[in-house]
Each structure stands twice: as structure tokens, then as C-alpha cells.
Structure 1
Amino acid sequence: MPVYGTENVVVRCYETGPGGLARPATFADYFQEAASNNARALGFPGERLWAQGMAWVLARLALHIHRYPAAGETVCIRTWPAAHDRTIAQRCYEATDVHGQPLAWGTSAWVVMDISTRRMLPIPDFVAQGYPKDQPDCRPFATRAVPKLRETAHEALLRSRRADMDANGHVNNARYVDWVLEAMPQDFAAAHEPSMVDITFRAECGAGVPLVSFCSAPEEQVSLHSLRLASATAQEPRADHGSSVQPQPAGATPEKSAKPDSSPAEHAAGESANATELCRARVIWRARPAHHAPEHRA
């Protein structure tokens, strides 16, 4: 019999954007929390891996969003671990409103990282042995791999913060979901919302690191995105699937100085062309429905 983890959460005002609706990263946060709680209930929580010098790391996440809930709405989440092989474990998610109407669903791929070396490890025996049997499969990823961004149309300069860090000592994956969308021009983002975000995580990042978010022009409502370090001299990502690079130290800055006739933004974007790619994403957009912000709830 399938084993599910279920929990209900109320959308908080600070988890919403303009119009009072949740953001894509809100679902990433909810799914991550549900996954952590379900793994704990099944006997392979992050705390147990930490005690053995290991950590769960998200390698890929696909979010498919039917409707963005408003502040004050209750979101009912169901998650379960699905198939796994020697190095990758899949986990599935579903989110509905209190009436059972779909809000979102997701598929994720997780790997185990050695905390000291930051390299990927095989799935531990206690995890494999504790995995429930006969679990439903996750819905497949739309593409075998997230396509590489080859033609950049827009970019945005960012910097990671200490507040973005998680227990693994690097920027939390949900922040990347926000950051890859940041490069989309404001006029387009104001009129559209993502119906799907498929993101693959390629390297990790510490606090205080200059970053550049790039994106393509949307073609047939599809855009490609890349988040990179703002320095071509940074360490390149390892070839392992889902592997990580060493976090950059807080306050790290590009080693090369900008030319006198170039702006900081132009220099950072140019430097990032060959710099470490932290993640890449494929986003499908749809017209943002007309709505009114909900009344304030005390």
C-alpha cells in the first residue's frame, strides 16, 4: 500500500507577491518542508544523514502550477518517495485547495552529498532499505535535461545573502527559483505568470556572492534561464550529475577589475559568460488572470 506524507499549510502574507498570490518559490518551500517531514517519518531524515557526514541535496525540481493561492488560503500537500537507483531518489508532490481542486504538482530528484568533500555519494543502505515498496511513480520530467541557455536577451544582477543560506551551508534551492525569474523584464512579468518551472541545480553558492541571472526572450511562451557567478575566474562545476562546487566565501568579489569605460552591470554580465553556472531552468508562461488583491486579514 502506498505511503504518503500529508500536511496542510496556510499561505502567509509574506509568501505572496503583487496581488496577494503565492509565488512559484512558495510551492518550492512547501514541497521542501513536506519532503523533509515525510523523510523524517520514514526513518531517513536530514538529521540522520547529517550525523553521518551526509546531506540530502536537490538536483532537479519541476513545478507545474494550475492556480496560485491567495494569502489566507489553505494548501493541502501530499508527497511520497518514488523510484530510486544507486545515486538518485525521486520524490513526488501534489497540492490542492480545501475542496480538492488542484493547485500544483511537482517531481523532484535528490542526491546525497558528502558534507566535507561536497561530492555526491551513493544512496545510503539505510535509506534504500527503508524505502517504501510499490510506491506510485512520479510524473516524468518534460525533457530529459533542462536545455542550456544559448542566446541571452535579458539579465539581472543579484547578490546572495546570509539570510538565503540553509542548514547545508549553501543557498537554499527555493531562492534559486526566485532568482532565475528575476531577469524577465517587468512588463512581461506583470502580464504573465509561470505555469511550469523546471530547474536543475548544478553548483552550490555561499553568502555574499555576486550573481547574474540571464534569460532568453520568451518564444511561444517558453523561456530559458541561467544563474551564474559574476566571475569567470570562479571554480567550474564538477561533471557529476547533481554535484556541487565549494561555496564561495562571504563577500567574495570577481578577481578581475572592470574596464574604466564599462559599467559594473556590463562588466558583471560579460565576466559571467564563462563563469560557473549555478542552475538552469526552463519556464512556461501564461497570461496572468485578472484578479483583485484579497482583503487584508488580521
Structure 2
Amino acid sequence: MTSDLYLPDECWECIFKFLFKDGDDDDNRCSFKSLSLVSKQFLSISNCLKFSLTIYDPTPPFLCDLFPRFSNLNSLDLRCYYGDLDSLLFQISRFPLNLTSLNFSDQDIFPADGLRAFSKNITTLTSLTCYHLETLNSTHLFLIADCFPLLEELDLSYPVKINYRSNLLDGLEAISLSLFKLRKVDLSRHCYINDQSLFHFINNCKLLEEVIVIFCPRITIACIASAYRKRPIVTVSYSITSEPDDYAIAIYVWSNKGHPTTLVFGEYKEYPLGISGLFSVGLNLAAVVDQESKWHSRVGEELEVEDQEFESSDEED
């Protein structure tokens, strides 16, 4: 009778995936934990369905048990680890992992030595997220270019302190030349970035789909317009002002191929009329920021730009 009711692991795996596919990570984590207590079979199946792992300070001594247990891990989150990050990455590099995503944002240091060791043994990384680092310099950028050539997504946004800004421009160029598969890059709050830096990515990264350069005041409207003409399917998020508490507006520009290009401009009264002659497009008022509120995702009335003429209508919140 028992054998008649037995389901193979593959069937249970499909059932679990179906049940939890729409839940958030926290809900799924609790659900898998509950399932793992039902039987050894469920424990084994739930272990195989865990793809991401967040490492906390007490975790490193247990890595030898965790990594073999979760054999399908592809993502590591180190944001909540405040120990020796280089040492941790050395440890991780010794395991035969097929990681595609690594996040060490909000850290006080850039773990250069650890990343070198990590990259020698784990060559499958396609996403690197390290926003809001305490310090960032050109050496770090050259290391990324040298160690992770297969990256498709790179987030270096909102660094706290930037050192040797002139050399950082060379580092960004190296990244644009080395990361030939790059599809998305976020360089928000890199205030040293100029028009040439943006064009390095537009020209060198043939698969590029999105560039985010919010609060980068050295990039000009003329550069954004030129980038649109050269690569109309690339999404560029950009603001004129250098501070996030100014009014802003999201402008969606649709290319001939039907892909949207997004330009985010600060100071909504200062529309770049100079670029409107390049194309006739539909605009959606999608986001407004002021000193008392965060971004609000809402769609307003459609606006039309044609031959240097601009008319707008705003909706009340």
C-alpha cells in the first residue's frame, strides 16, 4: 500500500515549485523549512530547491555543511556579513559552486584579494552587485574588468567615497572593453562620469540594454540625445540634478523596434527641447519626486513632443 502512494522526487519538486512560485523569498523560506520537517525525502527535495543563500556573521564555520547540502545554489548575499570579507571569499572559493550572482553591498571595504581568489575558481558569475560601498577607486574597477569578464549585470551605484576620480574614468573604460556580455550597468551617484564615459558603454558593449546614471551631473542632455540616436534600444536612466530630492519626471521614448528607452530628468520645468526635434514620441508622466515623498509609480496623461514644441499636463496625486 505504501509503495502505491509513493511519488518520485521529480514529482514532488514540480509540486513544490508550483506552490511557491508566486511567494516572496521570506514566505518561501518559511514554507521550505516547514516542508523539510515532514520527512527526509522532503528535506532532500527542499534543499535542492534553494538557489540563494544569505551569509551572516555566525555562518562561516558551517559553510562546509551548507554548500554540499544546497547543491543548486547560484546566488550569494554577503550584505549582512561584517567580518573579514576577504577571508570569507577565500573560503567560498574552495567549494565547487556554480554561482551566477554575488552581492556584497553596504560594506566598508572592497574585498580585492578575496575577489581575485573567488574569480579563479568560480568562473560562472554573471551578476555583481556592490552598491553603497564605503570607498571605491580605479583599482577596484580594473579588478572587476580583469576578474569577471562574463558579467551581464553590474551595480556600482551610490558609493560613499570616491578616490582618484580621474583614474576612475580609465577604470570604467576598461570595464566597457572587457565586459563584452554586459547588459545592464548602474553607476548612479558617480559624479565624475562624463559624456565620454557613457559613450564608452554605448559603443563598446554591443549587448547593452540599460544604463543607469542617476545623479551624474557631468553627463549632458546632448549626450543623452546622441546616445539615443546611436543605440535607440538602450534604456538610459538619467537626471539633470545631482540630488534625489528635486522634482523629476520619467520620460519613455519608444524606438522604431518597439523597445522603450527611459530618460529620467530632474527639474521637470526644464525639458530638453533641443532633443525633441530628433524624434516624435509619446511621453508618459510616470514618476514624480519631491522633498516629502519617494518615487511614486503612476501613469499620467500622455504627452506629445513634436518639432521643438512641448505641451504637458499633470495629474493630481
TM score, norm. by length of structure 2: 0.24
Bigger CA radius of gyration? 2
Structure with the larger helix share: 2
TM score, norm. by length of structure 1: 0.25
Which protein, 1 or 2, shows the higher relative CO under an 8 Å CA cutoff with sep ≥ 6? 1
Structure with the larger strand share: 1
